[in-house]
């Protein structure tokens, strides 16, 4: 797919692009002559961010989507790919609604659903869209933001925890090498050998 910046660098897509982490990551990767695609809900803010990036000499485009809507995420990623080329870097950084982050005892099923939709389902939709090209080229970087509750469980930040545990498990599975077929086959062979040894001594 053609690159509008005249380089071979694949694009950066930021899902949940805001003025904090998203804008900083966009500037940093944009400096490497990567086109930048931004996804969030607020069209006005996105237009301001793409304008600013353009003034800094970075090719940028935006697509509106609510990360909780998996079809909208897929549609937005596809739209950005058509404009900017394939994503070589993905950053997922939507800020959760702080109203849903409550102590464990006050957390409702709806709060958990909201956290899962934002932090797991939307993320999975974005990853699913960019991963095939990354695997085909053997090149790709994914960045996921998280809150401190992912590392240190806190009873006052409950909805973050299950969402982050689930997402972190998926992220670990995406680490380089983990996806390689030959590695999975090696693991399968090791498991079979261990089972055979255990059967022999029992
Ligand atoms: N900044 C920090 O110091 C810090 C520290 C620890 C962790 N983090 C983590 O880093 C991430 C980003 O933080 P930030 O400071 O960069 O926040 P930010 O500047 O507010 O940017 C986050 C963006 O997420 C977008 N967003 C929220 N809900 C969305 C949804 N449903 N669909 C699409 N976009 C959505 C918002 O844009 P729209 O409203 O336009 O959708 C918002 O601009 C968060 O995960 C946060 O927990 C940040």
pLDDT digits (tens, 9 = 90+) for 49-105: 999 999 999 999 999 999 999 999 999 999 999 999 999 999 999 998 888 788 888
Between the CA of 193 and the centroid of ligand 1 the distance, in Å, is 47
Q: Is residue 154 part of a domain?
A: yes
Q: Is residue 182 part of a domain?
A: yes
- Angle at alpha carbon of residue 58, lines to 54 and 61, rounded to 5°: 70
Between the CA of 161 and the centroid of ligand 1 the distance, in Å, is 17
- Angle at alpha carbon of residue 3, lines to 85 and 40, rounded to 5°: 45
- Atom 21 in ligand 1: residue holding the nearest Cα: 18
pLDDT averaged over every residue in the chain: 85
In 3D space, the residue among 69, 51, 73 whose CA is nearest the CA of residue 61 turns out to be 51
Q: Is residue 4 part of a domain?
A: no
Q: Which domain holds residue 152?
A: 11-201
State the total domains in the chain.
1
Q: Is residue 1 part of a domain?
A: no
Burial environment of residue 9 by CB neighbours within 10 A (0 to 12, 13 to 18, 19 or more) = middle
Q: Ligand 1 test: best mutation among 20, 100, 148, most atoms within 8 Å of CB? A: 20
Q: Is residue 3 part of a domain?
A: no
- Atom 44 in ligand 1: residue holding the nearest Cα: 95
Q: Ligand 1 test: best mutation among 97, 115, 145, 159, most atoms within 8 Å of CB? A: 145
Q: pLDDT tens for residues 91-134? A: 999 998 888 788 888 888 888 888 889 888 999 999 999 999 99
Give the helix/strand (H/E) hosting 16.
Answer: none
Count of residues in the chain:
202
* Confidence label for 193 from pLDDT (cuts 50, 70 and 90): low
Q: Two tokens at 124?
A: 């999975």
- Starting at the edge strand found earlier in the chain, the sheet holding 36-40 runs 60-64, 36-40, 11-15, 87-92, 141-144
Q: What residues does ligand 1 touch, defined as CB less than 6 Å away?
A: 16, 18-22, 40-42, 45, 66-68, 93-95, 118, 145, 147
Q: Is residue 2 part of a domain?
A: no
CATH number reported for the structural domain that contains residue 163 in this entry: 3.40.50.720
* Residue 170 pLDDT > 90: no
Q: Is residue 119 part of a domain?
A: yes
* Residue 6 pLDDT > 60: no
pTM, entire model: 0.85
DSSP letter string, 60-121: EEEEE--TT-HHHHHHHHHHHHHHH--EEEEEE-PPP-GGG---GGG--HHHHHHHHIIIII
């Amino acid at each position: 797919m053609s690159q509008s910046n005249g380089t071979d660098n694949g694009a950066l897509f930021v899902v949940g692009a805001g003025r904090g982490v998203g804008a900083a990551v966009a500037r940093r990767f944009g400096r490497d002559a990567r086109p930048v695609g931004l996804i969030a809900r607020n069209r006005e803010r996105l237009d301001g961010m793409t304008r600013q990036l353009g003034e800094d000499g970075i090719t940028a485009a935006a697509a509106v989507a609510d990360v909780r809507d998996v079809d909208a995420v897929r549609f937005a990623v596809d739209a950005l790919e058509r404009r900017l080329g394939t994503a070589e870097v993905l950053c997922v950084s939507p800020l959760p609604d702080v109203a849903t982050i409550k102590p464990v005892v006050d957390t409702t099923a709806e709060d958990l659903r909201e956290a899962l939709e934002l932090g797991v389902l939307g993320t999975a939709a974005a990853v699913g869209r960019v991963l095939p090209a990354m695997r085909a080229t053997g090149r790709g970087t994914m960045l996921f933001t998280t809150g401190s509750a992912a590392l240190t469980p806190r009873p006052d930040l409950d909805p973050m925890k299950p969402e982050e545990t689930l997402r972190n498990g998926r992220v670990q599975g995406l680490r380089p090498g983990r996806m390689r077929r030959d590695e999975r086959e090696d693991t399968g062979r090791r498991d079979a050998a261990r089972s055979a040894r255990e059967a022999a001594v029992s």
